[in-house]
Chains A and B, each alone.
Chain A
Amino acid sequence: MLINKGFKPKRRQSDTDRDRLPPGQYLTDDFPVLSLGPTPEVSKDKWKLRVWGLCEETSLSWENLMKLPASNITKDIHCVTKWSKYDTNWKGVWLDEIIRLANVDDTASFLIAHSADGYTTNIPIDDVTDKKALIAYEYDGEDIEAGHGGPVRLVVPHLYFWKSAKWLDGLEFVAEDQPGFWEERGYHNYGDPWLEQRYDTD
């Protein structure tokens, strides 16, 4: 490994940061935005979540979603572009609820999340069950801004944040893995920040 003489951290890292920041990440107080194109306009009253694949096909409206039991989580999030943000607070419905509602089959081993802009991302089913993935509709007690994926986005905080699809409008349950948008374009298929699985050669 190359040493860069005279290079020093600009901002002091506390001992907690050392355990809390995955390798190669730095802490930010902002909430940067990354997306592949313009922000699609999705209104609550037109929003629908389609659920299909290895399950009973169903569809949820905003009203339906509001009637499901809600949970609040406070989690650190990690973006593949290197920033991490501590203690982000989200309110929404656990994906487990949808899996139960739609009677998802045991043969389903991957979830493909679909977004209003045509984006997709693939996640193993074990990474979205047992309260690991939230269908979020509030950030920090407010509606999620369009830029950050509102009205409804997925939040899967233990994986790099591109897995947390913005403008969520579809959940597809499949038996075989299918790489999503970034996964087909050079990013890692799984995306564990602690193993620094950023790109497809990691």
Chain B
Amino acid sequence: MTQTKAESNWINATIKEIRYVSQTMLGIKAVFEESPFPAFEPGQHFDIRLTSENGYQAQRSYSAASASSQNEYLEFGIDVLPDGEVSGYLATLKPDDKFEIRGPIGRHFIWNPGNAKETILIGGGSGVVPLFSMIREYSAARVQDKLTFINSFRTVRDIPWQDELENLAQENQNLDLYTTITRESRVSERYHSGRINREILNKALEKYNLETAAVYICGSNSFVEAVSQSLLDLGAAFHNIKTERYG
């Protein structure tokens, strides 16, 4: 195995809690017994590394889902993919099991309370994970600024941390939720149906000034591409849009 300088940056994370937070998304709360808590900002990600008994290693990136001011644990939201090398293995772990992480990584797709009077977060599928960190931090900070979370899932059962999200929105009238479901035709009236498009964005963002709002979009490449183009068409400013693409 090549020994590189990067080696010293890995720390052990110990699983405190592991459970499904949606039909396919695994919520893993990790603690750090051997090293200090890795302080991060909402939107940043960590690398997780797995090593097999014969020395084979795999690394993947996972965004932080927990609020950054809360340092009892670091939570990940990991979509367990059919035959996924890393996500599939993580799904077999139990409390007290360990894995290696390094980070936080990235200083572009970051949001902190007070950054903008109006913030628009748009996520699809596992792309909502870093947005959850932002929403949790926003809620903990109790700022007066407006924040809207537009999200899209295949089915209602794919929405992670659903109860918590609805509670947060109920407690805070400045936090708006707009959820759209793409693969179920009959859903409760709490949700909308269809993919996020220009009409949906126009409706969901009525109260927002698109020219000045800070926009964060995260999801698959095709999702990010479609949503950012629609927003530009609606008058959003190119340089106010930050994107994160999961490939």
Contacts and interface: CB of A to CB of B under 8 A. Distances in A.
Interface of A: 1-11, 13, 23-24, 26, 30, 32-40, 81-83, 117-118, 147, 181-182, 184-186, 194-199, 201-202
B6 A196 contact: yes
Given A33-B221, A186-B105, A6 B58 contact: no
30 contacts: A2-B98, A4-B50, A4-B51, A4-B89, A6-B92, A7-B51, A10-B84, A10-B88, A24-B57, A26-B85, A32-B221, A32-B245, A33-B221, A35-B243, A37-B238, A37-B239, A37-B241, A37-B242, A37-B243, A38-B231, A38-B243, A39-B229, A81-B247, A181-B108, A184-B107, A194-B2, A195-B5, A196-B4, A197-B5, A202-B4
A4 B53 CA distance: 7
B12 interface: yes
B232 A35 contact: no
Instruction: Give the residue among A3, A4, A11, A37 with the most B Cβ atoms within 10 A.
Output: A4
B235 interface: no
A202 B242 contact: no
B83 interface: yes
B99 A195 contact: no
A51 B23 CA distance: 53
Contacts of A83: 247
A134 to B, nearest CB: 24
A8 to B, nearest CB: 6
B183 interface: no
Given A6-B92, A82-B59, A83-B247, 17 more contacts: A4-B89, A5-B53, A7-B50, A13-B56, A36-B108, A36-B242, A37-B241, A37-B242, A38-B229, A81-B247, A185-B108, A186-B106, A195-B5, A196-B5, A197-B6, A199-B6, A201-B6
B185 interface: no
Interface in B155-207: none
Contact of B241 (A38, A82, A182, A194): A38
A24 B59 contact: yes
Given A2-B100, A38-B238, A7 B89 contact: yes
